[in-house]
């Protein structure tokens, strides 16, 4: 354990300074200001200095000469107080050709860049030669300080929540009438604004004065970057305000401003305007929710009302007002009867008698309470979804708003840059981007299954990296390996503690559970970073591919092992297989040896758990091991990555985008949710009846427009969409139109990025596609409104979606179920309605290494059959068919040799013009080909008989 201490100190920051909540630096000096919130001494600021630096490659390699002659250079070095230090490379080629000089200036980051600009190179433009951190990051890296040190919980940070109410959506034709403010230390206030411009400006100014008084560390709202701040600032400008708000009275901080910034959500990046307030972290909670949404497909919307319910944090007695009625109720000077236990209210009509004992409330009071309840919920959502960013910020040397918007590869880059700076190691030259082999995925059995187990490798990719030592050689201190092992151990420790306190001490349990979260994020992101050379300079694609190819071997090994024991593989995806167990599986009994860390010593295991524990103890090695992820009562297996499972509690869990998507129209979703349960509970006749009833409803337009509406997410601004018009695809054809963007363009409505819009196809025939045949639908005002829609087309879309579900029926029945008109409905016998399961992909095929895999192993000069050397597992399970292949290939080679032709195999090092034997698996058959190497690739010439 003790050898992990330096890593822990590095990650948590070697400086002991506590309670830093934000840092302000700049490019024109070497000064930074720290903002602290000491629980005893209170809020204060500190001035600090740092030495601006950048990492630089050897300029000679880029044919760049710094200044005309050495005397001129020396003069500039003196002027800008430049120092150049050579960093460690230990003879590693990528470090030698990387950023191996550390250049510093005692003056400022600008003087550093000025020095190079004077010589004709702008470091900001030449990311290929220079690596720079922001002043804030430079300070943190240099001093070993970290944000939020000393704060045990996110709750301990002083946070201010706000929300505004406006008369409309645009600041140019509507105005603010309420601003709600609440902090997490007992303050709350609603600023009321009347109809005059003076009052509105006063309200805005008061809002900033309140912030200035309270000095919270974090200022946040829900969707505040896109909406509230934009609105407030634009209104203030229109009303003639100079916008010099939110300064610390004693500071020299500049005015509030907005800066182009990026929000990273899994593989998506979105631009937004970030609000900058000197000394504060300005956060948008919707960002945290949207990042969670990108990873968790069960979250359907990032709206405040939805997400509070999803997180089960909704206030039970909250005041609720429909969005369109807020202004009306606020302004109409009416009184309402209210039930204080539920906060339900009804309007009191003019001349209506009200007894003095009745509880009443004014419209204004309703809206004020509504606003405060919104803020209360905002705080709850913040606590749930920003927790991991808060914890990450105490490990990663950068500001809070950046931590909560950047991607995982940048996170790892900052960690590695910090380590390289501390240890004076060069930053490697980046690897070249290329495609590579990823996870293996198959569906072996299609249709209806019962009693299904999911067996998957615990953290497959990180485990492979640790067990097979796949780390880049350019990491000369092996720090990535050490960090990963530290994370692995720490996370396991937290997981064990979470479990230990689960029943006795809920608070401690949650404390540890929350702490394993940032580690999980860093762990999961590591493999992706290692394969992202354009972002992460330490990336190594051969290693990335070795990890995935090794993963493919592990999954094959597992399939062979369990099939041998009578298990049936159903669906395979990357790191796990859904299997059905043999009938006698419950007879299995195993007493844990505890050799494998996933197995408890002396614990009695039964059934599938026993089989898996034995596999782990006896046959796995080191950190590698299988988990029994779950057990299900029944399943529908439709296609690769697409299946539905029934839990023993009766819940249907849908996996894959065939039946689960945020774009799925509500009418489809409603049918699917009920329909899959009927099939899973083995009620095929009821399913068929339900299907025909639903066809009738769609056909006769009995379903509300809000349920039929297509959902599209806005990913382009109107301007970007219009700019797309002249563009073509790789074949020179124009890019197709997008129905929802056409609607926005025509109506002149500009939606924020990330918003969902709803529209309905109003054509007459199936062939009437959406473009030119659709109109926008307001799903909120009249959710139950019926109306005209393109029934044949929606029915056809419905049938297409349902089709994959029919894989549970016999093939002759399957083809007759779907109808275009309810009068064509079919009737079936019980025998016809038996649910089935049939073979799709074969085990034999999947045991073959793909051509790409063999090419890879060949390229790196490794034998995949040696991956399991040292594992105590039966050779026949481990050794793959490539040995058999080798025998056949050798025979074929000899045959050609006897005819005087030199032939190679793809195991060999082949060149342009060589003849090569290769093989593939098609329709369950092995096919052998003779190919010629033309322009670096294999061109098939003839099929060979074996």
Query: Within positions 535 to 554, which residues make up the interface with DNA, using CB under 7 A?
Result: 535, 544, 548
By the rule CB under 7 A, 618 interacts with DNA: no
Minimum gap (Å) between residue 549 Cβ and DNA: 10
Q: Which is nearer to DNA, 153 or 767 (CB)?
A: 767
Minimum gap (Å) between residue 820 Cβ and DNA: 11
Q: Which is nearer to DNA, 260 or 349 (CB)?
A: 260
Candidate residues 684, 770, 779, 848; the one interacting with DNA per rule CB under 7 A: 770
Minimum gap (Å) between residue 359 Cβ and DNA: 44
Tally of CB atoms within 10 A around 563: 16
Candidate residues 118, 144, 303, 804; the one interacting with DNA per rule CB under 7 A: 804
By the rule CB under 7 A, 657 interacts with DNA: yes
CA contacts within 13 A on the Cβ side of 115: 25
Using the contact rule CB under 7 A, the part of the chain among 146-154, 334-342, 729-737, 815-823 near DNA is 729-737
Contacts of 453 (CB under 8 A, 6+ apart): 578, 579, 580, 581, 608, 628, 630, 631, 632
Distance CA 363, CA 192 (A): 13
Using the contact rule CB under 7 A, the part of the chain among 57-65, 465-473, 528-536, 928-936 near DNA is 528-536
Candidate residues 438, 594, 792, 822; the one interacting with DNA per rule CB under 7 A: 438
Binding mask 370-409 for DNA (x = CB under 7 A): ------------------------------------xxxx
* Binding positions for DNA, 316-345, rule CB under 7 A: none
Minimum gap (Å) between residue 384 Cβ and DNA: 19
Q: Considering CB under 7 A, how many residues would be counted as binding DNA?
A: 77
Using the contact rule CB under 7 A, the part of the chain among 67-75, 145-153, 239-247, 794-802 near DNA is 794-802
Using the contact rule CB under 7 A, the part of the chain among 62-70, 669-677, 701-709, 734-742 near DNA is 734-742
Using the contact rule CB under 7 A, the part of the chain among 14-22, 329-337, 437-445, 873-881 near DNA is 437-445
Distance CA 728, CA 733 (A): 5
The CA distances from residue 138 to 116, 142, 636, 758, 842, in Å, are 19, 6, 54, 46, 55
DSSP H or E stretch at residue 546: helix 541-564
Distance CA 687, CA 325 (A): 42
Structural tokens at position 781 = 């005002």
Residue 509 in contact with residue 502, Cβ under 8 Å? Answer: yes
Candidate residues 380, 529, 568, 885; the one interacting with DNA per rule CB under 7 A: 529
Structural tokens at position 525 = 């992101």
Q: Which is nearer to DNA, 182 or 740 (CB)?
A: 740
By the rule CB under 7 A, 28 interacts with DNA: no
Minimum gap (Å) between residue 534 Cβ and DNA: 6
Using the contact rule CB under 7 A, the part of the chain among 331-339, 480-488, 637-645, 700-708 near DNA is 637-645
Phi-psi region of 34 (alpha: psi -120 to 50; beta: other; left: phi over 0): beta
- Ordered DSSP codes for 675-722: HHHHHHTT-HHHHHHHHHHHHHHHHTT-S-HHHH-EEEE--S-HHHHH
Minimum gap (Å) between residue 750 Cβ and DNA: 16
* Binding positions for DNA, 245-304, rule CB under 7 A: 259-262, 264, 266-267, 269, 297
CA contacts within 13 A on the Cβ side of 441: 10
By the rule CB under 7 A, 441 interacts with DNA: yes
Tally of CB atoms within 10 A around 508: 14
Q: Which is nearer to DNA, 377 or 853 (CB)?
A: 853
By the rule CB under 7 A, 820 interacts with DNA: no
Beta-strand runs (E) in 257-299: 257-265, 268-276, 281-284
Residue 456 in contact with residue 855, Cβ under 8 Å? Answer: no
Q: b/e for 627-658, b at 16 or more Cβ within 10 A?
A: bbeebbebbbbbeeebbbbbeeeeebbbbbeb
Minimum gap (Å) between residue 220 Cβ and DNA: 20
Candidate residues 456, 475, 540, 546; the one interacting with DNA per rule CB under 7 A: 456
Q: Collapse the DSSP code of 126 into the 3-class scheme (helix H, G, I; strand E, B; otherwise coil) and give the result.
A: coil
Minimum gap (Å) between residue 623 Cβ and DNA: 17
Distance CA 107, CA 124 (A): 18
Minimum gap (Å) between residue 44 Cβ and DNA: 28
Q: Which is nearer to DNA, 348 or 738 (CB)?
A: 738
Instruction: List the alpha helices (DSSP H) in 296-362.
Output: 304-310, 326-331
Q: Which backbone phi and psi does 593 adopt, to 5 degrees?
A: -95, -20
Minimum gap (Å) between residue 722 Cβ and DNA: 14
Candidate residues 150, 254, 303, 439; the one interacting with DNA per rule CB under 7 A: 439
Find residue 571's DSSP bridge partners. 443, 578
Distance CA 745, CA 718 (A): 6
Q: Collapse the DSSP code of 191 into the 3-class scheme (helix H, G, I; strand E, B; otherwise coil) and give the result.
A: strand
Please provide the distance, in angstroms rounded to a whole number, between the alpha carbons at the two ends of the chain.
57
Using the contact rule CB under 7 A, the part of the chain among 160-168, 239-247, 650-658, 863-871 near DNA is 650-658
Phi-psi region of 861 (alpha: psi -120 to 50; beta: other; left: phi over 0): left
Using the contact rule CB under 7 A, the part of the chain among 43-51, 90-98, 640-648, 936-944 near DNA is 640-648
* Binding positions for DNA, 680-709, rule CB under 7 A: none
- Ordered DSSP codes for 135-177: HHHHHHHHHT--TTTT--SGGGS-EEEEEEEESSS-TTT--EE
Candidate residues 733, 831, 925, 945; the one interacting with DNA per rule CB under 7 A: 733
Using the contact rule CB under 7 A, the part of the chain among 212-220, 556-564, 765-773, 892-900 near DNA is 765-773
Using the contact rule CB under 7 A, the part of the chain among 317-325, 486-494, 581-589, 634-642 near DNA is 634-642
Candidate residues 239, 628, 738, 888; the one interacting with DNA per rule CB under 7 A: 738
Q: Which backbone phi and psi does 324 adopt, to 5 degrees?
A: -75, -15
* Binding positions for DNA, 181-220, rule CB under 7 A: none
Candidate residues 731, 830, 876, 898; the one interacting with DNA per rule CB under 7 A: 731
Pairing of strands 42-49, 31-38: antiparallel
* Binding positions for DNA, 115-144, rule CB under 7 A: 124, 134
Minimum gap (Å) between residue 361 Cβ and DNA: 41
Minimum gap (Å) between residue 119 Cβ and DNA: 18
Candidate residues 639, 819, 843, 888; the one interacting with DNA per rule CB under 7 A: 639
* Binding positions for DNA, 846-875, rule CB under 7 A: 852
Residue 87 in contact with residue 425, Cβ under 8 Å? Answer: yes
DSSP H or E stretch at residue 452: strand 445-457
Minimum gap (Å) between residue 789 Cβ and DNA: 13
Instruction: Sheet containing 937-944: give its strands across.
Output: 904-905, 915-922, 925-934, 937-944
Q: Which is nearer to DNA, 124 or 648 (CB)?
A: 124
Candidate residues 735, 765, 847, 939; the one interacting with DNA per rule CB under 7 A: 735
Helix 506-530 with 479-501: angle, nearest 10 deg? 150
DSSP H or E stretch at residue 555: helix 541-564
Q: Which is nearer to DNA, 264 or 556 (CB)?
A: 264
Minimum gap (Å) between residue 410 Cβ and DNA: 4
Minimum gap (Å) between residue 267 Cβ and DNA: 5
* Binding positions for DNA, 574-593, rule CB under 7 A: 574-576
Distance CA 944, CA 919 (A): 9
Instruction: Identify the CA nearest to 705 among candidates 674, 742, 666, 672.
Output: 666
């Amino acid at each position: 354990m003790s050898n992990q201490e330096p890593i822990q100190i590095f990650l948590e920051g070697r400086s002991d300074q506590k309670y830093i909540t934000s840092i302000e630096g700049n490019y024109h000096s070497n000064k930074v200001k720290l903002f602290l919130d000491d629980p005893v001494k209170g809020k204060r600021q500190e001035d600090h200095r740092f030495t601006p630096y950048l990492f630089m490659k050897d300029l000679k390699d880029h044919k760049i000469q710094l200044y005309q002659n050495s005397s001129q250079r020396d003069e500039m070095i003196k002027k800008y107080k430049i120092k150049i230090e050579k960093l460690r490379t230990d003879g590693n080629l990528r470090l030698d050709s990387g950023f191996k000089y550390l250049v510093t200036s005692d003056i400022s980051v600008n003087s550093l860049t000025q020095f190079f600009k004077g010589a004709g190179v702008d470091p900001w433009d030449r990311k290929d030669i220079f690596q720079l951190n922001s002043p804030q990051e430079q300070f943190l890296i240099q001093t070993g300080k970290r944000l939020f040190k000393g704060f045990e919980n996110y709750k301990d940070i002083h946070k201010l929540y706000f929300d505004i109410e406006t008369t409309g959506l645009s600041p140019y034709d509507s105005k603010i009438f309420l601003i709600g403010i609440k902090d997490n230390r007992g303050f709350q206030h609603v600023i009321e604004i009347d109809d005059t411009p003076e009052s509105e400006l006063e309200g805005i100014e008061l809002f900033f004065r309140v912030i200035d008084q309270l000095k919270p560390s974090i200022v946040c709202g829900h969707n505040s970057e896109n909406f509230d701040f934009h609105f407030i600032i634009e209104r203030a400008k229109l009303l003639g305000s100079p916008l010099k708000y939110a300064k610390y009275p004693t500071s020299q901080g500049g005015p509030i401003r907005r800066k182009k910034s990026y929000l990273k959500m899994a593989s998506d990046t979105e631009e937004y305007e970030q609000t900058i307030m000197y000394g504060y972290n300005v956060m948008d909670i919707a960002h945290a929710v949207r990042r969670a949404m990108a990873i968790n497909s069960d979250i359907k919307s990032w709206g405040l009302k939805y997400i509070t319910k999803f997180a089960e944090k909704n206030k039970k007695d909250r005041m609720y007002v429909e969005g369109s009625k807020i202004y009306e109720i606020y302004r109409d000077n009416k009184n309402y009867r209210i039930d204080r236990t539920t906060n339900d209210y009804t309007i009191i009509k003019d001349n209506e008698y009200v007894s003095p004992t009745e509880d009443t409330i004014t419209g204004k009071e309703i809206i004020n309470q509504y606003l405060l309840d919104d803020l209360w919920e905002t705080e709850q959502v913040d606590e749930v979804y920003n927790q991991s960013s808060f914890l990450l910020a105490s490990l990663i040397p950068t500001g809070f708003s950046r931590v909560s918007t950047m991607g995982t590869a940048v996170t790892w880059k900052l960690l590695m840059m910090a380590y390289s700076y501390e240890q004076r190691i060069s930053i490697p030259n980046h690897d070249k981007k290329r495609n590579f082999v990823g996870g293996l995925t198959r569906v072996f059995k299609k249709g209806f299954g019962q009693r299904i187990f999911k067996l998957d490798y615990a953290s497959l990719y990180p485990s492979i990296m640790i067990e097979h030592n796949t780390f880049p050689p350019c990491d000369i201190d092996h720090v990535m390996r050490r960090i990963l092992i530290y994370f692995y151990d720490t996370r396991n420790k937290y997981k064990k503690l979470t479990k230990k306190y689960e029943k006795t001490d809920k608070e401690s349990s949650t404390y540890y559970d929350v702490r394993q979260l940032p580690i999980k994020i860093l762990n999961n992101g590591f493999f992706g970073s290692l394969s992202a050379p354009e972002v992460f300079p330490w990336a190594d694609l051969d290693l990335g591919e070795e990890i995935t190819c090794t993963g493919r071997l592990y999954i094959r090994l597992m399939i062979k092992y369990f099939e041998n024991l009578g298990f049936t593989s159903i669906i395979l995806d990357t790191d796990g297989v859904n299997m059905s167990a043999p009938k006698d599986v419950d007879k299995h009994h195993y007493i844990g040896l505890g050799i494998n860390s996933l197995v408890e010593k002396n614990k009695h295991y039964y059934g599938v758990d026993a089989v898996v524990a034995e596999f782990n103890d006896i046959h796995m090695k080191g950190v590698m091991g299988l988990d029994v992820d779950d057990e299900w009562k029944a399943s529908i297996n439709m296609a690769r990555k697409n299946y539905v499972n029934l839990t023993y509690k009766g819940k249907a869990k849908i996996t894959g985008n065939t039946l689960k998507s945020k774009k799925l129209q509500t009418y489809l979703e409603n049918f699917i949710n009920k329909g899959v349960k009927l099939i899973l509970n083995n009620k095929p006749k009821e399913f068929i009846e339900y299907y025909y009833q639903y066809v009738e409803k769609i056909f006769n337009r009995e379903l509300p427009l809000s349920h039929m509406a297509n959902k599209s997410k806005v990913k382009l601004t109107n301007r970007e969409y219009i700019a797309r018009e002249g563009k073509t695809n790789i074949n020179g054809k124009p890019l197709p139109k997008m129905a929802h963007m056409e609607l926005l363009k025509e109506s002149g409505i500009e939606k924020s990025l990330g918003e969902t819009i709803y529209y309905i196809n109003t054509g007459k025939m199936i062939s009437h596609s959406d473009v030119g045949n659709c109109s926008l639908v307001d799903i909120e005002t009249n959710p139950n409104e019926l109306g005209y829609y393109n029934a044949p087309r929606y029915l056809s879309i419905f049938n297409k979606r349902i089709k994959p579900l029919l894989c549970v029926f016999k093939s002759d029945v399957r083809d007759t179920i779907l109808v275009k008109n309810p009068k064509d409905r079919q009737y079936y016998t019980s025998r016809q309605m038996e649910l089935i399961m049939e073979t799709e992909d074969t085990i034999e095929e999947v045991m073959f290494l793909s051509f790409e895999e063999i090419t890879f192993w060949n390229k790196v000069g490794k034998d995949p059959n040696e991956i399991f050397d040292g594992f105590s597992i039966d050779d026949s399970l481990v050794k793959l068919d490539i040995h058999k292949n080798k025998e056949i290939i050798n025979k074929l080679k000899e045959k050609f040799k006897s005819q005087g032709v030199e032939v190679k195999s793809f195991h060999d090092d082949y060149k342009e013009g060589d003849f090569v034997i290769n093989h593939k698996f098609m329709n369950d058959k092995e096919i052998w080909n003779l190919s010629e190497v033309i322009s670096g690739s294999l061109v098939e010439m003839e099929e060979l008989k074996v």
